[in-house]
Amino acid sequence: MSHGAEGASADVQVTASGGRKRRPYRRDQILTEAVRLFAERGYHATGMNDIGAAVGITGPGIYRHFEGKEAILEAAISRVADEMLAKVESIVSTSTTPRETLERLVLNSIDVFLDNPSLILTGVHERRNLSDSGRALFDRSNRLRIEEWALPLGKIRPELSENEARFLVVVAQQMLLAAGRFTDEMDRDRLRKYLFNLAMAVLLSEQPA
């Protein structure tokens, strides 16, 4: 039996009437396992065959769902961006003060980063290798995250210019990336508190005289 036939066989399920249909959860399963492998082995060291083996199909079987590894990475980034945006909308609509909004947005970004450190770092490092649409998605997500923080910060600190507020936000967010290599070396709750305290210290730091 060829690899393509094996991939097709593993990728369908038999219905009660004896018919065959594509497994609806396979795409999500591929995304989940691919991100896990990217975290464990690195993006470049992970092959399509590795991803296929993790979900119980051959590497060629993955091409029924994705054009290639780059497409998997872009889909994973899109999924995380959509999840984060949904949480942001909830935070903004349910917070009662700018300070509460900012603190919850900071914690949300920290949680997203700690849950997906390899994915986010891979997106940063591999940005130039993404498609035009992939780069646009990644850049839009970054811009939105900056503006999300800058808006309540400007209300908390009206003395800041828009550029100063964005500058403080970018510095604080870059700390999250710099902390990426410690995600496996420190207790998550302890690292989460460190990052929150550091980010808020930057955001609320005094203007130079």
For position 23, what pLDDT does the model report?
56
Does the pLDDT at position 90 exceed 50?
yes
- Assigned domain for 208 exists: no
For position 19, what pLDDT does the model report?
42
pLDDT mean across residues, the chain: 81
- Assigned domain for 85 exists: yes
Tens digit of each residue's pLDDT (9 = 90 or more) over 4-53: 444 444 444 444 444 444 555 888 899 888 878 877 787 888 899 999 99
- Assigned domain for 209 exists: no
For position 195, what pLDDT does the model report?
92
Distances from the Cα of 75 to the Cα of 21, 23, 63, 79, 172, angstroms: 23, 18, 14, 6, 27
For position 24, what pLDDT does the model report?
54
HEC assignment per residue over 55-71: HCCCHHHHHHCCCCHHH
Domain that holds residue 198: 73-203
For position 36, what pLDDT does the model report?
81
Does the pLDDT at position 101 exceed 90?
yes
Q: Which residues pair with 12 in a beta bridge?
A: 22
* High-pLDDT (> 90) share of the chain, %: 33
Contacts of 2 (CB under 8 A, 6+ apart): none
Residues 83 and 58 in one domain: no
Say which CATH number the domain at 104 has.
1.10.357.10
Kindly state the average pLDDT of the residues 107-129: 77
pLDDT band (50, 70, 90) for residue 160: very high
Tens digit of each residue's pLDDT (9 = 90 or more) over 57-76: 887 888 889 988 888 888 88
Distances from the Cα of 118 to the Cα of 34, 35, 58, 124, 203, angstroms: 11, 8, 24, 10, 25
Count of domains for the chain: 2
Q: Please state, in angstroms and rounded to a whole number, the distance separating the CA atoms of residues 181 and 191.
A: 12
